[in-house]
Chains A and B, each alone.
Chain A
Amino acid sequence: MSQQTQAGIDYSKVDEIISACGAEKSHLIAILQKVQEEFRYLPLDIMTYIGTKIEGLSPATVYGVATFYAQFSLQPKGKYEIKVCDGTACHVRGSMPVLNAIKQTLNLENGQYTTENGLFSLETVSCLGACGLAPVVVVNGKVYPQMTADAIKIVIETIMNEESEGK
Chain B
Amino acid sequence: MTTTLIDIKKEQQKVKEQIKAQGLRVLVCAGTGCVANGSLKVIERFKELGADVRPMTHQDKVTIVPTGCHGFCEQGVLVVIPDLDITYVKVKLEDVEEIVESHIKNGKPVERLLYVDPKTQEHVFKNEEINFYAKQTRTTLANCGEIDAESLDEALATGAYEALHKVLEQGNPDAVIDEIVKSGLRGRGGGGFPTGMKWKFTAANRGGKSYVVCNGDEGDPGAFMDRSVMEGDPHKLLEGMAIAGYAIGADEAYIYVRAEYPLAIHRLRVAIKQAEERGYLGKNIMGSDFNFEIHIKEGAGAFVCGEETALIASIEGERGMPRPKPPFPANKGLFGRPTLINNVETLANVSTIILKGADWFSSMGTEKSKGTKTFALTGEVNNTGLIEVPMGTTLREIVFDIGGGIRGGKKFKAVQIGGPSGGCLTEEHLDLPMDYDNLIAAGAMVGSGGLVVMNEDTCIVEVARFFMNFTQNESCGKCVPCREGTKNMLKILERIVKGKGEMKDLETLEELATAVKDGSLCGLGKTAPNPVLSTLKYFKDEYIAHIKDKRCPAGVCEAMKVITIDEELCKGCTKCARNCPVGAIEGTVRNPHHIDQSKCIKCGACLNSCPFKAIKQN
What is the interface of chain A, defined by CB distance below 8 A to chain B?
24-30, 32-33, 61, 64-65, 68-72, 86-93, 125-134, 136, 141-145
B291 is an interface residue with CB less than 8 A from chain A: no
B36 touching A144, Cβ below 8 Å: yes
Contacts A130-B32, A133-B74; is A71 near B220 (CB within 8 Å)? Answer: no
Contact A143 B302 (CB under 8 A): no
**Complex CA–CA separation, A63 to B314 (angstroms):** 15
Contact: B36 with A143, CB < 8 Å? yes
Query: Is B219's beta carbon under 8 Å from chain A?
Result: yes
What's the minimum C-beta distance from A13 to chain B, rounded to whole angstroms? 20
Q: Please tell me if the beta carbons of B74 and A132 are within 8 angstroms of each other in the complex.
A: yes
Nearest A residue to B320 via CB reads A68
**Measured between alpha carbons, how far is A82 from B37 in the docked complex, in Å?**
18
Determine whether B458 belongs to the interface, using a CB cutoff of 8 Å to chain A.
Answer: yes
For residue B529, CB closer than 8 A to chain A, the reply is no
Q: Would B302 and A27 count as touching, CB distance under 8 A? A: no
B321 nearest CB neighbor, chain A only: A68
Q: Which residues of A contact B224 (CB under 8 A)?
A: 127, 129-131
Complex Cα distance A25/B221, Å? 30
B376:A68 contact, CB within 8 angstroms: no
- Are the C-beta atoms of B35 and A26 separated by less than 8 Å? no
Which of A72, A90, A91, A129 has its CB near the most chain B CB atoms (within 10 A)? A129
Contact check: which of A30, A126, A141 meets B219 at CB < 8 Å?
Answer: A126
- Give which listed residue, B73, B218, B379, contacts A92 with CB less than 8 A: B379
Asked if A126 and B303 make an inter-chain contact with CB atoms under 8 angstroms apart, the answer reads yes
Q: Whole-angstrom distance from the CB of A114 to the nearest CB of chain B?
A: 18
- The answer to whether B380 and A131 have CB atoms under 8 Å apart is no
Docked pose: A130 CA to B74 CA in angstroms: 9
Q: How many angstroms between the C-alpha atoms of A90 and B378 in the bound complex?
A: 9
**Would B260 and A131 count as touching, CB distance under 8 A?**
no
A143 to B262, CA, bound (A): 12
Given A28-B317, A33-B300, A133-B76, 12 new contacts (CB under 8 A)? A29-B298, A61-B318, A69-B302, A89-B379, A89-B384, A92-B458, A127-B218, A128-B32, A130-B73, A131-B222, A131-B378, A134-B378
Q: Which residues of A contact B378 (CB under 8 A)?
A: 88-89, 92, 131-132, 134
Give me the interface of B with A, judged by CB distance under 8 Å: 32-33, 35-37, 72-74, 76, 218-224, 227, 259-262, 297-303, 314-320, 335, 376, 378-380, 384-386, 416, 419, 450, 452, 454, 458, 463, 466-467, 470, 474, 476
How far, in angstroms, from A80 to B607 measured CA to CA in the complex? 35
Which residue on A lies nearest to B474, using beta carbons?
Answer: A126
B259 contacts A92, CB within 8 Å? no
Q: Is the CB of A126 within 8 A of B300?
A: no
Docked CA distance A127–B73 (Å) = 15
Q: A71-B300, A127-B219 are in contact. Are A92 and B452 (CB under 8 A)?
A: yes
Which chain A residues lie closer than 8 Å to B476 at the CB level?
A: 68
Contact, CB under 8 Å: A25 / B317: yes
With A131-B224, A133-B73, A143-B32 in contact, is A26–B316 under 8 Å at CB?
yes
Q: Are A71 and B259 in contact (CB under 8 A)?
A: yes
A142 to B301 Cα, complex, angstroms: 19
Contacts of A129 in B (CB 8 A): 32, 218, 223-224, 227, 260-261
Pair B35/A127 contact, Cβ less than 8 Å: no
Contact present for A88 and B221 (CB under 8 Å): yes
State in angstroms the CA–CA spacing of A89 and B315 once bound together. Answer: 29
Cα A130 to Cα B416 with chains together (Å): 18
A129's nearest neighbour on chain B, judged by CB, is B224
The distance in angstroms between the C-alpha atoms of A134 and B316, with both chains bound, is: 34
Q: Are A87 and B454 in contact (CB under 8 A)?
A: no
Residues of chain B lying within 8 A (CB to CB) of residue A142: 36
Contact B317 A29 (CB under 8 A): yes
Chain A residue at minimum C-beta to C-beta distance from B419: A88
Chain A: which residue is nearest B558 at the CB level? A96
Pairwise interchain contact B302-A70, C-beta atoms closer than 8 A: yes
A88 touches B416 (CB 8 A): yes
Q: In the complex, A133→B378 CA distance in Å?
A: 9
A33 close to B259 (CB less than 8 A)? yes
In the bound complex, do residue A87 and residue B221 qualify as a contact, i.e. CB atoms below 8 Å apart?
yes
Nearest CB on A from B437, distance (A): 24
Question: What is the distance, in angstroms, from A20's C-beta to the closest C-beta of chain B?
Answer: 14
Closest to B315 in A: A26
- Inter-subunit contact B470/A72 (CB<8 Å): no
**Which residue on chain B has the smallest CB distance to residue A131?**
B378
A28 nearest CB neighbor, chain B only: B317
The winner among B299, B315, B319, B454 for most chain A CB atoms within 10 A is B319
Tell me, in angstroms, the Cα distance from A70 to B315 when the chains sit together.
16
Q: Are the CB atoms of B32 and A26 closer together than 8 Å?
A: no
**Measured CA separation A65–B32 after assembly (Å):** 29
Q: Which residue of A lies closest to B71 (CB)?
A: A132
Question: B73: which A residues are within 8 A, CB to CB?
Answer: 130-133
The answer to whether B452 and A88 have CB atoms under 8 Å apart is: yes
- Shortest Cβ distance from A142 into B: residue: B36
**Contact A26:B36 (CB < 8 A) given known A71-B259, A89-B452:** no
- Please determine whether B320 and A132 come into contact, CB atoms closer than 8 angstroms: no
Chain B CB count within 10 A is highest, among A65, A88, A145, for A88
Cβ–Cβ contact B36 & A89, under 8 A:
no
